[in-house]
Amino acid sequence: MYAAKMDDKGRVKLPTDFQTYLAALNQKFFVTSLDRRIARLYPIPLWRETKKKLEEENEHTEEAENLLFTALELGSEAEMDSQGRVLFSPELRRELGMEDQPVRVYVYAGMVEVLNGAQYDKRKTAAIENTDRDRAAMKKKGVK
């Protein structure tokens, strides 16, 4: 997990390790959020797969439609520039409170997740408070 900052133009500079990893996958992204709390940079092939799953969902149709609505409302396609920056739409950065703010970025499940300060603090607190429970549950699954 890396600390970064969204600049005044709405761009987040990705760490060099992320740039190398993501450049190998695809330099084009769909930048959005499914929950209006955490931003996600989906490489385009992963976004297409995710979008298709949401569009084809039959058991939880309303939930899938709501997630897709949010993703499309806040999302936009973006490319990583030569300096490793990715532009977030004005709607996304306003909704997530990221304008000209420090953020935390990390790779998760093939995409980059971006947390604003409040979300980072909330996740950190939950991780600390639940460490013993989480370790016990994962130990049963073979995590050492």
29-77: pLDDT as tens digits:
999 999 999 999 999 999 999 999 999 988 899 999 999 999 999 999 9
- 100 pLDDT tier (thresholds 50, 70, 90): confident
Q: Does 112 fall in a domain?
A: yes
Q: Does 142 fall in a domain?
A: no
Q: CA separation (Å) from 6 to 16, 85, 99, 101? A: 16, 9, 6, 5
Task: Please name which of 83, 80, 102 lies closest in space to residue 2, comparing C-alpha atoms.
Answer: 102
Q: Give residue for tokens 């997990």.
A: 1
The helix/strand/coil state of 62 is helix
- 26 pLDDT tier (thresholds 50, 70, 90): low
Q: Which two tokens stand for residue 91?
A: 């709607």
Q: Does 123 fall in a domain?
A: no
The domain tally of the chain equals 1
Report angle CA 71, 75, 76 to the nearest 5 degrees: 150
21 has a pLDDT exceeding 80: no
Task: Indicate which CATH number applies to the domain containing 33.
Answer: 3.40.1550.20
Q: Which residue range is the domain that position 73 belongs to?
A: 2-117
Q: Does 35 fall in a domain?
A: yes
- 22 pLDDT tier (thresholds 50, 70, 90): confident
